[in-house]
């Protein structure tokens, strides 16, 4: 953020704070360096951290109880004004910290000057950011719980619905729609785990690290850490104020999750086209054309797909900012806030609208089944029928490849070939294609763990529900 412990902190007049500087900050520099337009998102965390710090100062005998009480009540009142939209933020005060501190001084007078005892804006902002990231990660987890609940319910509805699975966007093998959607449940489960995991790296409180070397004052860092819900104080003051790897971890988890959302969005865009016709998005999650009255455009999944690029860009942006920074704090780190806030907001919105679109879309079961009914999708089953007759797979693969070419060239239905016709290509075929390529049989024979057989899919749904229920209980 805007933490430079050079003492150059502009007050309301534009004159730098402290005795080192004699000239007012140039107005262009004020505009260029101001961060309050976006770092006001940290307001509640800044006030929480300041209240904990004030109480610790009194606990340590560094300020009087009366000053502590005045500071705490003043900060609480400022927080209430911010929540109610009554607080007047000033760009002249550079950042959220100085806005709060200036307002506190106006409210309670000289006692406000004691709040910054033993504290730098470096450890202040690092603490604010850690608190913000904790909440942002939890919000992502909750959004993923909601979305996974939706996809699980849709999977439960469509255990019997069959569609082609694709590789290279070419029809490959038939699968149950429930199985397909459970693939996204698994991806989003790992996404939720990533957000939970990063909380372990947010267990140490930076407050008390000062500008970089700690403080000569008898601060009780454990006191503030406990008050703010941390396991303890950070172990190294330089690391505490200079590092943003947990922010990178959050941006990485957000980018990966957005990519998963984008992949589903891509399928919804394709599936809702007239060429596929597998699904129709609800009107509430579609838009029309300004020119063509017949159009129903899948704007919601298209926007999610597009916004994934922002999340990826935010991660790359902060990686680039950090790659050349020496220890400890450098003003470049002010550039960490906007990517973090943007990714958190973009992810939250994307999770919400994706859940809504998925919950309300209509599935054309017959269109899917018709597409899955092409016997060519079961060519692998023919090869495996030969394998069961002790034919080496490579030989079986070549035989079936010739069969497929024969059908394509002759305009023949692979599923209609008799046993005798199959045996012209290999004598080991045990039956005609009509028996070997039955769709339901093909699905049910894929009964390995993780397969698309009904029993396996129903087991997967039950296990997924247990996992989701457990997560909801733990989050309550």
List the catalytic residues: 168, 289
Residues 35, 95: contact at Cβ < 8 Å? yes
Residues 302, 265: contact at Cβ < 8 Å? yes
| Cα angle 445-446-452, degrees, rounded to a multiple of 5 | 125
Max CA pair span of the chain: 100
Query: CA-CA distance, 363 to 267, in Å (whole number)?
Result: 13
Residues 183, 267: contact at Cβ < 8 Å? no
Matching residue, tokens 């998963």: 260
Token readout for 370 is 């018709």
Region of 277 on the Ramachandran plot (φ > 0 left; ψ -120 to 50 alpha; else beta) = left
User: Nearest to residue 374, comparing CAs of 92, 172, 149?
Assistant: 172
Query: CA-CA distance, 247 to 228, in Å (whole number)?
Result: 19
Continuous segment of H or E residues that includes residue 56:
helix 43-59
Which ranges of 373-446 does DSSP label H, i.e. alpha helix? 379-387, 393-410, 419-423, 433-436, 439-444
Residues 400, 376: contact at Cβ < 8 Å? no
CB atoms within 10 A of CB 145: 17
Residue 174 pairs with which residues in a beta bridge?
Answer: 164
DSSP character string of 234-284: -S-HHHHHH--HHHHHHHHHHHHHHHHHHHHHHHHHHHTSTTT--EE--GG
Residues 78, 53: contact at Cβ < 8 Å? no
Query: CA 153, 156, 161, 167: dihedral to nearest 10 degrees?
Result: 70
């Amino acid at each position: 953020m805007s933490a430079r412990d050079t003492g150059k902190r502009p007050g309301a007049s534009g004159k730098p704070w402290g005795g080192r500087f004699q000239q007012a900050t140039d107005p262009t520099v004020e505009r260029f360096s101001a961060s309050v337009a976006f770092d006001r998102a940290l307001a509640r965390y800044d006030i929480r951290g300041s209240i904990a710090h004030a109480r610790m100062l009194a606990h340590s005998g560094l300020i009087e109880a009366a000053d502590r009480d005045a500071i705490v009540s003043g900060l609480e009142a400022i927080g209430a004004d911010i929540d109610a939209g009554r607080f007047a933020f000033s760009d002249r005060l550079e950042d959220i910290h100085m806005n709060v501190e200036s307002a506190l001084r106006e409210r309670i007078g000289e006692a406000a000057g004691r709040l910054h005892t033993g504290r730098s804006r470096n450890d202040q902002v690092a603490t604010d950011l850690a608190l913000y990231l904790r909440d942002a990660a939890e919000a992502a987890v909750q959004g993923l719980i909601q979305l996974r609940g939706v996809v699980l319910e849709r999977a439960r509805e469509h255990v019997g619905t069959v569609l082609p699975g694709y590789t290279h966007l070419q029809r490959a093998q038939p699968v149950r729609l429930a199985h397909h959607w459970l693939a996204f449940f698994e991806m989003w489960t790992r996404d939720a785990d990533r957000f939970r995991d990063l909380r372990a790296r947010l267990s140490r409180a930076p407050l008390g690290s000062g500008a970089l070397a700690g403080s000569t004052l008898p601060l009780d860092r454990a006191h503030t850490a406990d008050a703010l819900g941390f396991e303890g104080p950070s172990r190294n003051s330089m690391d505490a104020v200079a590092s943003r790897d947990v922010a990178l971890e959050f941006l990485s988890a957000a980018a990966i999750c957005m990519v998963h959302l984008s992949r589903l969005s891509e399928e919804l865009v394709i599936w809702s086209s007239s060429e596929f016709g597998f699904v129709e998005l609800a009107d509430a999650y579609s838009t029309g054309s300004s020119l063509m009255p017949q159009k129903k455009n899948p704007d919601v999944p298209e926007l999610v797909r597009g916004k994934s690029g922002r999340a990826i860009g935010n991660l790359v942006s902060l990686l680039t900012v950090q790659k050349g920074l020496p220890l400890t704090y450098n003003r470049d780190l002010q550039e960490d806030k906007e990517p973090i806030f943007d990714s958190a907001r973009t992810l939250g919105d994307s999770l919400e609208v994706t859940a809504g679109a998925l919950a309300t879309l209509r599935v054309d079961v017959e269109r899917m089944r018709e597409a899955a009914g092409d016997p060519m999708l079961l060519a692998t089953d023919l090869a495996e029928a030969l394998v069961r007759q002790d034919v080496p797979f490579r030989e079986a693969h070549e035989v079936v490849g010739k069969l497929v070419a024969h059908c394509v060239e002759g305009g023949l239905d692979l599923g209609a070939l008799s046993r005798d016709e199959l045996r012209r290509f290999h004598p080991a075929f045990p039956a005609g294609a009509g028996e070997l390529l039955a769709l339901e049989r093909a699905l049910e024979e894929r009964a390995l763990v993780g397969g698309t057989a009904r029993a396996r899919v129903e087991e997967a749904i039950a296990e997924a529900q247990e996992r989701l229920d457990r997560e909801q209980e733990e989050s309550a």
